[in-house]
Amino acid sequence: MFEEVVQDLIDQLGRFPGVGPKSAQRMALWLINQPDTTATEISRTIIDSKRKAKFCKICGNISEEEICSICSNPNRDRTLIAVVEDSKDLVAIEKTREFRGLYQVLGGSLNPIEGIYPEDLRIRDLVMRLGDGKVKEVIIATNPNIEGEATASYLARLIAPLGVKVSRIATGLPMGSDLEFADQMTLGKAFEARTEVKVEE
């Protein structure tokens, strides 16, 4: 129904994840009504970022350099590796400022239905990193959903024989939430993983 020139733009913008036909339409019409510079800037950044973005040779994080800023930071604790599914999980953890170790970015989670097997993720790289005995603990921080849990058990079984401590981030009630509205599984996990309250005397 749109003139071809608009439809082409809608189709291309609709390729982005989470952008449905209505959103793509809105984005396309907005762009056409903007000054030329807007289209030029967006378009140039898409090309530039894609060209410059590499994956860190050590951990798989997105980086402009061969080695990312975390792996090349001498102040990070090299005895700890947190395993995450992708770069945005890494960023979420960095924001907490709770973790000062290194990362391994898998590039997804195991999902045989969608054809994602261990060899499709950066699992071999992780095992290689554990070879020199310097890493003392691997914290598996994949998502607490079916695929993330499957990936976590797979990794735990793979790493445990290497003599490295393997841990999993805790599941439980989110801070500020209501017991009443928690799903059964989360509440169940919260009971299972209860911690003793120590009273100072």
Residues in touch with its own copies (CB under 8 A): 1-6, 8-9, 11-13, 15-19, 23, 25-34, 36, 38-53, 61-64, 68-69, 86-88, 91, 94-95, 107
Which residue, 76 or 189, has its beta carbon nearer to its own copies?
A: 76
Separation in Å, CA 172 to CA 55, 65, 121, 177, 187: 33, 37, 27, 11, 7
Q: How far is the CB of 119 from its own copies (least distance, A)?
A: 17
Q: Report the alpha-carbon distance of residue 131 to residue 2 in Å, rounded.
A: 58
User: How near is the Cβ of 59 to its own copies at its closest, in Å?
Assistant: 12
Least distance CB 33 / its own copies (angstroms): 8
Cα distances (angstroms) measured from residue 123 to each of 7, 54, 103, 117: 41, 18, 12, 10
Q: Give the Cα separation of 82 and 90 in Å (integer).
A: 9
| Shortest Cβ 44–its own copies spacing (Å) | 8
**Of residues 32 and 170, the one with the C-beta less far from its own copies:** 32
Q: How far is the CB of 182 from its own copies (least distance, A)?
A: 23
42 or 160: whose CB is closer to its own copies? 42
Of the pair 34, 79, the CB lying nearest its own copies is at 34
Contact 70, 59 (CB under 8 A): yes
What lies within 8 Å, CB to CB, of 81 at 6+ separation is 101, 102, 103, 104, 126, 129, 130, 135, 137, 138, 139
C-beta of 31 vs 130, nearer to its own copies:
31
